[in-house]
Structure formats: C-alpha cells, structure tokens
Structure 1
Amino acid sequence: MNPQASQPRHQIKRAMISGFLGAAVLWTASCSTISPAADPDYQDRLPDTCSHHLEDALKNFAGELYDQRRFDSEEDASEDVGNQSLGLMNCSVSFTSEDFDSTEVPIGRHAGFDYNIVTEEQGTGDPEEEATDRYLRTLDRAPNSATLLPIPGLGDEAHYWHQEEVPTGAHVSFRQHNLTVKVTVWGNDRNSTGEEVPMPQQEAEEAARHLAEAVFDNL
C-alpha cells in the first residue's frame, strides 16, 4: 500500500459529497424530468445470485483448498439470502483444508459479500444519492486504525482497507450508481512450526480486490 495515497476519513467524505452534489446540480438542471431509472447505469434489482456467478474468481481465491472442504451460505440457506424489496443480500463462502499435518500451507480462506441496492420503488429519495450516503456510512464504520485507500476504475467509487478489529481482514467497498457492494476476505495458514497464523495481509488485500472486480464485472 502507498501511505501517500491515503486520506483522512473526513476529507474523503467531504470530497465525495462535494463532487456528488456538484454532479447532482448539473443533472437536475439538464434532466430534471427524467427518471433515475432511465440512466443506463441504474441497477433495477439485485444480482440473481450472491456468489454463484463468481465461481472462477472463487476458485482462483481458494487455490489448493478449492477441492477440499467448502461451506457456502447461499447453497446451505433454508431461504433466499437476498430480499429484493429491501434491496439487501449477503452471503459467505469458506474453503478449509483436509490436511491436518502439513506445514507452511493455507488452511482456511473465507470471503463475505454484502449487496445494498436503492431503487425508486423503495421510496427513499434519489437512488444514487441515497446509495452514496450508504457508501459513505460504510467507510465511516471502518475503525480509526484502518487506512482507507481509493481504488481507481472500480465502479463510480471504491476504497479498500485492512483491519485487525472484527470483522478482521481485507475489505473492499464500491458503489456503482445506486448499488453498493462490500467484499471481505480473511483466512489462516499453518506456519513452519505448525502454528495457525493469519493469511498474509497483502494476499488478503489482493484477493478482496480481485473478488470485488469479479462482482463488478458480473453486474
């Protein structure tokens, strides 16, 4: 990570709000009679699945654990993991090792996905404005010890960070118009002395970014 690229939390929020409000003024002046749903970037519903459409990215993420033990909350859920009327969906996928003896190997890789969509039908105001507000609240919930770094080219806006506090791991949050998505990655390895240790931070951050990119590419 590049420390020079980080920004204080309040500066991120102020800059994002200012930019959004400026764009909103221009939009209102030129297109005040056009419904937000007419925008080609408008998302009218949650994805049909939470993680099943990400199988190639999950296989790359899990590596040698992919064909061992797996828990998929979407597969095992007794009901749908998403609620279209509320605009919420979340799930997690875990891969764990069946090898209890080898050292210097991964023993667990876990990924969580949270989707939050704002539509006109929900009646909460302008969908993109409300989604931007929810995105900012997600960033504000990151602990003060975390350094939030921007990710250019991922949706309309995106940030990632790593935190030791629960939920521990690497986090990526992005917004695409009226949809916000958060991806969390954590895992464990067995070191040379047989002790269980967290997966390397850089590996977790790269995995979270790749999974978030896969989500975006499949919207």
Structure 2
Amino acid sequence: MIHKPEHQAMVYAPWQLPDGRTVPAVAGWQFYKHRGLMDIKGSTPGYSAFLSRFTDAAELVCVTLLANKEGVDFTNLGRRIAGAFGDLLSTNYDDHKLYLLEGQLPVEDTVRRLEKELAERKIPVFAKFDHAQNAREAGLELRPTTVLVFGAPKVGTGLMQADQSIALELPLRIAIWQDGAGSTWLGFPRMQRLAADYGLQDHPVIPKLQRLLEELVRRAGGVY
C-alpha cells in the first residue's frame, strides 16, 4: 500500500533516535535479527490480529492470523507456521518441548526487563545464572546466556503436595540467550508437557503457570 521508497524506508525499518540509539520498532511494526523478519499485531474487544513478513529475497513468506477473541498473541504460533515452509524460517529449536519467543533486544537488556517485570509483580528471584560469565572465568567462550530462577511458594507448593518429585522442576525458570545469527531468544519448558511426566498435566495450576510465563517473556522480549 505504500509505494514510494522513501516512505517504505520510514515505515518498514527500525527507527534511529536523535541520541544514536536504534529502536527495533516503528508504527506498530516490530523487527528482529532474523533477516527480513517483521511483525505487527493488535487486539480489540472481540478480535485479535497478527501479521508477520519474511521479506528477504530467499524467503518471502507472509503469515496472517485472526481470531474472534481479544487478547490472543499469535507470535509464537506464527513463527511455527512459517517454519513449516523451510528451515530458514523456523526457530531451529524444539518448540514442541519449549515455548520460544524471539526477542527484539540484546540479551542484557532483555534480562533487565524480565527482572523489572518480576519485581513489579512481586515475584521473588531466587537465582540468576550468567553462563557466559561463568564460561569466561573458566577460560571458555559462550554467547550471552542467562537463566533467571523465580517463583511463588504458594503456587509451587500445591504441585509438590500432589507429587513431591516435581520439586526437581521447581522453581520456575526462563532462559535468555543469543544464537549464532545474533538473535535473542527467550524460552521455558511447556508446562503441560513437563507436568505430564509427573501425571500432573490436568492440575489446575498448570495453565495458570503457562499463561504467566508466556506473558513474562512477551513483556521482556518485545518493545511494545
């Protein structure tokens, strides 16, 4: 719909602020390290919409998703659908086992945003593992990789009352890392699949934990 190249350059590319910083978003669009990947989404009472485009000449795939329900985030599903068209479009991770979201910001900034989000929700952080720093101290190299461990005893205790062995999976954790292409990823185990190993997939707290973790990675990984 926008034909003039100068207008396309303005609307379909990250903006640079006067202080030199680059914001990976503009006019609702979000941009990622994956070549040519951009998406835009929104929600209004009764409807949710999502559009992603892979504009690189080697890909040229567009995924559009609509729902007659507000508050539906299609980011993860959209990437999985795109991945069905070729490995270049996929996450290259096992997203049947993990819930994955490609972030827009560097790992350090994403970790800081996640910590802020947890603090605002009064969810205690029990540990923070900077695996890249640990690797450097051991004389090894590792791309940025950080894991935050957090949780609320009132929630986790209910699961352990049902089966104490699930303590091996608690507290909750979210990993944030940079892949070989420079993209930032946020991921955590899909809770229903994890709980199924303990026969707790139907426990009422499991979908609540899944929704919480999804919201946390979206808030930490996106600009909007």
Is the TM-score greater than 0.5?
Answer: no
Query: TM-score normalised to the size of structure 1?
Result: 0.35
Structure with the greater relative contact order (CA < 8 A, sep ≥ 6): 1 or 2? 1
Query: TM-score normalised to the size of structure 2?
Result: 0.34
